[in-house]
Amino acid sequence: MGKIIAIANQKGGVGKTTTAVNLGGSFGVLEHKTLIVDADPQANATSGVGFDPSQTKNIYDCLINDVHPSEVILTTENPNLDILPSHIDLVGAELEMINMPGREGLMKKVLDKIKDKYDFILIDCSPSLGLITVNALTAANSVIVPVQSEYYSLEGLGKLLNTIKIIQGRLNTDLDIEGILITLYDTRLRLANHVVEELKTHFQDLVFDTVIHRNTNLAEAPSHGSTIIMHDATSKGAINYLNLAREIIQRHEANKLKEENNKISL
Ligand code: ADP
Ligand code: MG
């Protein structure tokens, strides 16, 4: 059964979409079947893996018109990586959803229909804590919080963690924090090192061991409609995201083993 991981931070430009696309691509090359759910009306993940958002059916149809996601999902150039595309229409979905029954659980209902087909489902959230992001956090088993290694990145993190806590209390008691991911890291900047130290002091093991360095190949890959792994597998960006994928897979498998052992000893 697929593990659903939301990638969320209400701040824009921290590397959510870059992480969704390239972590997804890395899971794919490591032979873990992965779906990226583009939950941002800007549809950057959709175009980042090579599709024109105006030419495809999209997540709006699934959330509002009850279209089955298998009719909307597209396969990318990476055979283990699929995408549920987005579209600017998703802006309107937020308003339409307000009066729908079970409005926070609509994305979970959509993903329940297909989650058995995947090892991982990554939800690329928009830079907001609105109803669609609340839907993503309600559907997810865990959340990755990308944080840019800059001073102002720490502001707003408290608000996000508070939102996660509210969702854990009311809508999704099983929601875990998969990890805080340091992105756009520049070793030359003393401030970046300071931010990393501060994050590790506050959040300890919640911070991933893998750090994503600033790497221009990562910024360029979307213009080729391709993940870094398919475009330039030897670049630093590709290696960073492959390491992140391995870190998550290892932890996921260790947890599964622990659960099985607990069952046996009961
Ligand atoms: P978000 O989805 O959080 O708004 P993006 O993933 O779109 O953030 O990243 C914002 C910008 O920074 C994009 O132009 C992207 O290409 C660039 N970017 C993200 N991560 C990196 C990185 N590690 N190195 C270089 N550029 C990056
Ligand atoms: Mg984005």
What is the model's pLDDT at position 220? Answer: 87
| DSSP-assigned states of every residue in 31-46 | T--EEEEEE-TT-HHH
Q: Please give the distance, rounded to the nearest whole angstrom, from the Cα atom of residue 258 to the centre of ligand 2.
A: 34
Percent of the chain predicted with pLDDT > 70 = 99
Q: Which two tokens stand for residue 30?
A: 């490591």
Q: In which residue are the tokens 């890959």 written? A: 221
Which residues of the chain fall short of a pLDDT of 70? Answer: 266
* Residue 208 to residue 194: CA distance in whole angstroms: 16
For 108-156, the pLDDT digits (tens) are 999 999 999 999 999 999 999 999 999 999 999 999 999 998 777 777 8
Number of domain units in the chain? 1
Hey, whose CA ends up nearest to atom 14 of ligand 1?
Answer: 219
Q: Select from 154, 91, 108, 100 the least CA-distant residue to 2.
A: 108
Q: Which residue in 257, 5, 263 sits closest to 115, CA to CA?
A: 5
Q: Is the CB of 183 under 6 A from ligand 1?
A: yes
Which helix (H) or strand (E) segment holds residue 231: the answer is helix 228-231
Nearest to 146 by CA among 21, 237, 10, 4: 10
Other CB atoms within a 10 A radius of the CB of residue 19 amount to 24
236 lines ligand 1 (CB under 6 A): no
Provide the b/e sequence for 228-241 (b: ≥16 CB within 10 Å): bbbbbeebbbbbbb
Which ligand 1 atom sits nearest the alpha carbon of residue 240?
A: 23
Query: Which amino acid residue places its CA nearest to atom 11 of ligand 1?
Result: 13
Q: Pick the residue whose CA is nearest to atom 27 on ligand 1.
A: 219
Atom of ligand 1 minimally distant from the CA of 124: 2
Ligand 1 atom closest to the Cα of residue 12 is: 4
Torsion, CA 231, CA 5, CA 63, CA 227, rounded to 10: 0
CATH for 254 = 3.40.50.300
Residue ID of nearest Cα to ligand 1 atom 4: 13
| pLDDT, tens digit, 9 for 90 and up, residues 16-42 | 999 999 999 999 999 999 999 999 999
Structure tokens at 221: 């890959």
| Euclidean distance between CA atoms 119 and 253, whole angstroms | 11
pTM of the predicted structure, to 2 decimals: 0.95
Q: From CA 133, how far away is CA 124, in angstroms rounded?
A: 9
Q: Containing domain of residue 7, as a range? A: 3-265
